Amino acid sequence: MKSFFRMSYPYILWIAVFIVAPMFMILLYALTRTGNSTLTFQFTLDNFARFLREPTFLRVLWTSLRVALLTTVFCILIGYPAALFIAGLPERRQTMMVLLLTLPMWINMLLKTYAWRGILLNFDFASETKVFIGMVYDFLPYMIIQIHTSISKMNPDLKTAAYDLGANKWVTFKRVTLPLSIPGIISGITLVFLPAVSSFVIPKLLGGGDYVLIGNLIEIYFLTAGDWNFGSAISLIMALIIIASMWATKKLDRNAQEE
Amino acid sequence: MKKMMAAVLTLVMLLTVCVPFAAADGVLNVYNWGEYIDKQVITNFEKEFGVRVNYSLFSSNEEMYTKLLSGASYDVLVPSDYMIERLLKENMLQPLDRSTVDNLGNLCEGVQNLSYDPDNTWSVPYLWQTVGIVYDTTKIDPEKIEEAGWDIFLDPEYAGHTYMYDSERDAFMVAFKALGYSCNTEDETEIQAAYEWLIKMDEAVKPSYVTDEVIDSMANGEKWMALVYSGDAAYILSENEDMGYCTPKQGTNIAVDAMVIPANASNPEMANQFIRYITEYDNAVMISEEVGYASANAEALAELSGEGGTYEGNAAYIPRAGYEQDEMFHDNETLKKTLSELWIKVKLHE
């Protein structure tokens, strides 16, 4: 056991340098402002207050959450039947289908988004619709694969038993398949909602200049406005929301398992 | 067989690791804007001087500056005027070797004696531009637009037919100039007035906020008018003969991108050679012809706009010079911060 623990040292070093240290830097930036030449920075909560006081920023936050939520819901609505269908196929064809599903993920996301931009140029959709289409397209495979894994893991005898006990197809699905696939849905939600809420390439390329999500706002403050303190504060608010939603899904997961 | 493969793979890996080091002596790191050079010029330079040019691209002065601050080392940079001002303020440049770069007698009117570096101690202008309006002459009367200047952006007749460039500096420059202020103003009431002007603009013409995609879209005639840089306008006009170009009478921004050598350059000698090479007539012509932006070399400018030149009769190719109300941007980070926050509010205004 002890020797195994030693093997994780490189990994611990890795997170310390590349994850924990940058997080602390963001925290430091978010909690400070540039001072004068003697006192190079001062601690302050102004950055957060500035965000919460400005209706424009709050609207951006709300739009980001709304789009991410909508994307997640649609991914479940499209992804669940697809996963159910794939899980019902003979094993060899299942492998093939999963492969086909992951195929687009081999292509760089930027490239795919540019392709969508070309396609959507011909349609007179609202910016939000375009961004939404791009996000559902990009994140759908994550949802399908998660749900498919949890369905195909299920013991087929359970379904046979349900039929034996007089349940029809619908009741079997409602009482057996669906509850057992909830962990898959939940990890699918984590894999779709989190990247969707912080995505900035898709809104930038598909939404146009007047469509700003929270990820774009952070980019603007770091690259254009050069205000790293405020940019960090927004990142931190973002991180808090993400942690909260992860905690919520974890809790859902636990409740589902207890049932 | 397997051993053979392993040996070959190891060799390949070793080579890929070693090559950059082995050639480090003959490498020149150039950092320039995207789509801003004729690649042939670089190839020719590499052949003539026996160096490998490591050519990387940035899309904004701020991106370049951030990269530089993070410790990256380059030999030649091509930032804009106000950014050179900042780099000088922060001692991040080294003077040119004027015994190598000795061919600056040919700078055209408009890029001589620039305030940030009047005697070209630190920088040599590369390409330059003004900001203006490209418009579809079949939809908008040229006389009308010359008369209105920037105020054409307040005309609801063009609602839904307008592109606005998505950059706080350029958009606010339009508003400042339309109101008769300096584009470097720090006066709060003037900034507030410009903000309100842009809100009015947003409501009146309901523009699409775009960046480089404006070039292809206007060349295809997708909208009636757009705020563009003169260099991009020159390209649009050469692609689509219905398009016209107007440099508004209220004055505009003149921007110069110039070559500089950072203080931490590892190959300054070759950097000076490179700058000299780029300034030579033939190369100046090739570059300006390829990208459409005005050359800083007077002869090249005359050649390309003169009889038989690529940009003969192109209204956008030569930027307006010597007009009193035209101004350059100055480095002002506080102003930039204020404007970028206001700009987000303009774009997201309901």
Instruction: Report whether A23 contacts A31 (CB < 8 A).
Output: no
Which chain B residues have a beta carbon less than 8 Å from that of A59? 348
Q: What is the pLDDT of residue B95?
A: 96
Rounded to an integer, what distance in angstroms lies between the CA atom of residue A191 and that of residue A185? 10
pLDDT of amino acid A43: 87
Contacts of A225 in chain B (CB under 8 A): 336-337, 340-341
| pLDDT given at position B90 | 94
Provide the domain count of chain A: 2
**Rounded-to-integer distance, Cα A135 and Cα A130, Å:** 9
Residue A92 lies in a domain: yes
**Whether residues A34 and A102 fall in one domain:** no
pLDDT at residue number B10? 55
Show Cβ contacts of residue B70 under 8 Å, excluding neighbours closer than 6 positions.
Answer: none
Substitution target from B344, B345, B347, B349 for chain A, most A beta carbons within 10 A: B344
What's B17-126+257-305's CATH class? alpha beta
Residues A245, A178 share a domain: yes
Name which of B62, B211, B347 is nearest A210 (Cβ-Cβ): B347
| For residues A176-186, average pLDDT | 90
* Predicted complex ipTM: 0.74
Phi then psi for residue B247, to 5 deg, are: -100, 105
For residue B189, the model assigns a pLDDT of 96
Report the C-alpha dihedral over residues A153, A154, A156, A161, rounded to 10 degrees.
170
Angle between helices A178-198 and A127-152 (to 10 degrees): 140
Residues A185 and A72 in one domain: yes
Instruction: Pick the more confident residue, A207 or B154.
Output: B154
Beta strands in chain B (DSSP E): 27-33, 52-58, 76-77, 93-94, 123-136, 162-165, 208-210, 225-229, 243-246, 254-262, 294-295
Please tell me the predicted confidence (pLDDT) of residue A122.
82
Termini Cα distance of chain B: 69
CA distance B172 to chain A (A): 14
In a domain, A204, yes or no: yes
Indicate whether A140 and A118 sit together in one domain: yes
Q: What is residue A124's predicted lDDT score, i.e. its pLDDT?
A: 84
Q: Are residues A243 and A172 in the same domain?
A: yes
Give the span between the Cα atoms of B101 and B271, in whole angstroms: 10
Q: Tens-of-pLDDT digits for all 350 residues of chain B?
A: 555 555 555 555 555 544 444 444 589 999 999 989 999 999 999 999 999 999 999 988 988 998 998 888 999 999 999 999 999 999 999 999 999 999 888 899 889 999 999 999 999 999 999 999 999 999 999 999 999 999 999 999 999 999 999 989 999 999 999 999 999 999 999 999 999 999 999 999 999 898 888 999 999 999 999 999 999 999 999 999 999 999 999 999 999 999 999 999 999 999 999 999 999 999 999 999 999 999 999 999 999 999 888 999 899 999 998 899 999 999 998 898 899 889 988 988 87
Looking at the structure, tell me whether residues A12 and A109 fall in a common domain. Answer: no
Instruction: Residue A21: count other Cβ atoms within 10 Å of its Cβ.
Output: 11
Binned at pLDDT 50, 70 and 90, residue A4 comes out as confident
From CA B222, how far away is CA B136, in angstroms rounded? 9
Q: Which of A59, A208, A222 sits opposite B209 (nearest CB)?
A: A208
What digits encode the pLDDT tens for the residues A228-255? 899 999 999 998 988 898 888 888 778 7
A27 and A132 fall within a common domain: no
Q: Is residue A162 part of a domain?
A: yes
Is there a single domain that holds both residue A139 and residue A204? yes
User: B337 and A227: CB-CB below 8 Å?
Assistant: yes
User: CA-to-CA distance for A41 and A86, rounded, in angstroms?
Assistant: 57
Helix axes A91-102, A127-152, angle to 10 degrees: 150
What pLDDT score does B32 carry?
96
A101 and A147 together in one domain: yes
Q: Is B344 on the interface with A (CB under 8 A)?
A: yes
Is A50 contained in some domain? no
- Is A48 domain-assigned? no
Query: Do the bridges between strand B225-229 and strand B123-136 make them parallel or antiparallel, or are there none, so unpaired?
Result: antiparallel
Report the residue from A208, A220, A223 with minimal CB separation from B208: A208
Give yes or no for a contact between B270 and B104, defined as CB atoms under 8 angstroms apart: no
**What mean pLDDT comes out for the span A218-227?**
84
Q: Do B208 and A56 touch (CB under 8 A)?
A: no
CB distance B348–A226 less than 8 Å? no
Chain A partners of B344 at a C-beta cutoff of 8 Å?
A: 56, 212, 217, 220
**Interchain CB contact of B90 with A (< 8 Å):** no
The closest CB to that of B340, out of A208, A209, A224, belongs to A224
> Span A15-24, mean pLDDT?
91
pLDDT of residue B4: 56
Domain identity same for A89 and A215 = yes
B348 touches chain A (CB under 8 A): yes
Domain range list for chain B: 17-126+257-305, 129-254+313-347
Band of the pLDDT at A224, cuts 50, 70, 90? confident
Q: What is the pLDDT of residue B20?
A: 44
For an interface test with A, which of B348, B349, B350 has the most A Cβ atoms less than 10 Å from its Cβ?
B348
Tell me the C-alpha distance between B58 and B346, whole Å: 26
A143 located within any domain: yes
Domain co-membership, A202 together with A145:
yes
* pLDDT (0 to 100) of residue B267: 94
CATH code, domain carrying A74: 1.10.3720.10
For residue B134, the SS3 value is strand
Same domain? A105 vs A233: yes
Expressed as residue numbers, the domain containing A23 is 2-43
Question: Which chain B residues are within 8 Å of A234, Cβ to Cβ?
Answer: none
Helix (H, G, I), strand (E, B) or coil at A72: helix
Highest mean pLDDT among A22-36, A154-168, A177-191, B163-177: B163-177
Whether residue A56 and residue B62 make contact (CB cut-off 8 A), yes or no, is no
pLDDT at A131 over 50: yes
Shortest distance between the Cα of A253 and any Cα of chain B, in A, equals 37
Q: Residue B149: its pLDDT value, please?
A: 95
3-class secondary structure, A128: helix
> CB-based contact (8 Å) between A206 and chain B?
no
Fold of B129-254+313-347: D-Maltodextrin-Binding Protein; domain 2 (3.40.190)
pLDDT surpasses 50 at A171:
yes
Side chain identity at B280, as an amino acid letter? E
Among B336, B344, B345, whose Cβ lies nearest the Cβ of A226?
B336
What percent of chain A shows pLDDT beyond 70?
Answer: 98
Domain-embedded: residue A199: yes
Please tell me the distance from the alpha carbon of residue B164 to that of residue B150, in angstroms, as a whole number: 12
